[in-house]
Amino acid sequence: MNKFVLAAFFCGCIFSAHAQEESLLKGVEDSLPVSQKVTGAFKSTRVINAHSVEMLAKGNLDFRIMHRFGFVSDGVKQFFGLDQATMRMSFDYGLTDNLTIGIGRSTFRKELDGFIKARLMQQSTGPKAKPFSVIVAVGYVVHTEQSFDSVKPDVIDRSAYYYQLVVGRKFNTKFSMQLSPIVVHTNFPEDINDDRTIFALGGGARYSISKRMALTLDYHHPFGRLNEQLTDPLSVGLDISTGGHTFQLQFSNSIGMNERAYITQTTGDFFKGDIRFGFNLSRIFKVGKRHK
């Protein structure tokens, strides 16, 4: 009987020590820093024209309307450009948190476009922190405007493609910046002397001035042979967030609102007053199951 009591006592001591060890380990684990993803580098999936490092959450649908008007310098006769409007309407959808697809239609050259955007890495803090976010985007554009050439262009002649890498970082609660090199290939440029494949290096920035408002900048410099009348696309804007809406007011020299158009067909010198007023309106809808 004494042996049984002694054995039970030793077993109780072992189980108690094991429980204390588990409790101690759990306390140590709870005290360790936790890795956290950094979000909100930009308030929209686009800085102004270009893709940003932000992605749509799984099941989110972004309905976006973009307007660009004529040059403000056209004066009262053109109501400071407001009489000359072009528009792009698009639908983007988050297949997963790291994969977004989208389609759009522009009145400029009656273009249709589509893209796939994937996140390769997301900025994070804590153990194994990642210093920046990386996304890639691949897109297709085809213009459907009527041709008056004697030999009518087919779909291949009307098509263009782009491949873009975006690397961005949110430095603090106010300032974010990204680099966004892009390659645009146009099968049949409007000017036959232009290079079919154009590389452009640019980027974007965002500076928050309040919880709901931020200043933005979007710029690209194309390399290669382009018509001398074409210029670098530059846009500056103001983001206003109101719940599920993001309203972007901007001034730009670009009339195009897809990658082919604003990289290879921007006219007017921003710094010589060739500036267009425009806006983007983004509305997010939840169409899938609620994401946890």
CA dist 239 and 279 (Å) reads: 10
- Does a structural domain hold residue 271? yes
pLDDT at 32: 54
pLDDT band at 25 (very low <50, low <70, confident <90, very high): very low
CA dist 25 and 17 (Å) reads: 12
- Does a structural domain hold residue 108? yes
| Domain extent for 59 | 37-286
Give the residue-averaged pLDDT of 88-110: 96
Whether 206 shows a pLDDT value over 70: the answer reads: yes
Whether 202 shows a pLDDT value over 70: the answer reads: yes
Mean pLDDT of the chain: 87
Domain of residue 56, CATH code: 2.40.160.40
Gyration radius of the chain's alpha carbons: 26
pLDDT at 9: 42
- Does a structural domain hold residue 21? no
Whether 78 shows a pLDDT value over 70: the answer reads: yes
74 φ, ψ to 5°? -70, -15
The beta-strand segments (E) located in the chain are 36-37, 60-71, 86-96, 99-106, 111-121, 124-125, 133-143, 159-170, 175-179, 182-186, 197-208, 213-223, 234-242, 245-252, 276-286
pLDDT band at 272 (very low <50, low <70, confident <90, very high): confident
- Does a structural domain hold residue 30? no
77-108: burial string, b at 16+ Cβ within 10 Å, e else: eeeebeeeebebebebbbeebeebebebebbb
- Does a structural domain hold residue 20? no
> Hey, which residues does 100 pair with through a beta bridge?
94, 117
- Does a structural domain hold residue 4? no
pTM: 0.83
Q: Do residues 55 and 291 lie in contact, with contact meaning Cβ atoms separated by under 8 Å? A: no
Torsion of CA 188, 199, 145, 274, to 10 degrees: -130
pLDDT band at 164 (very low <50, low <70, confident <90, very high): very high
How many domains, the chain? 1
- Does a structural domain hold residue 133? yes
Q: Is 204 helix (H, G, I), strand (E, B) or coil?
A: strand
pLDDT band at 33 (very low <50, low <70, confident <90, very high): low
CA dist 248 and 239 (Å) reads: 4
- Does a structural domain hold residue 9? no
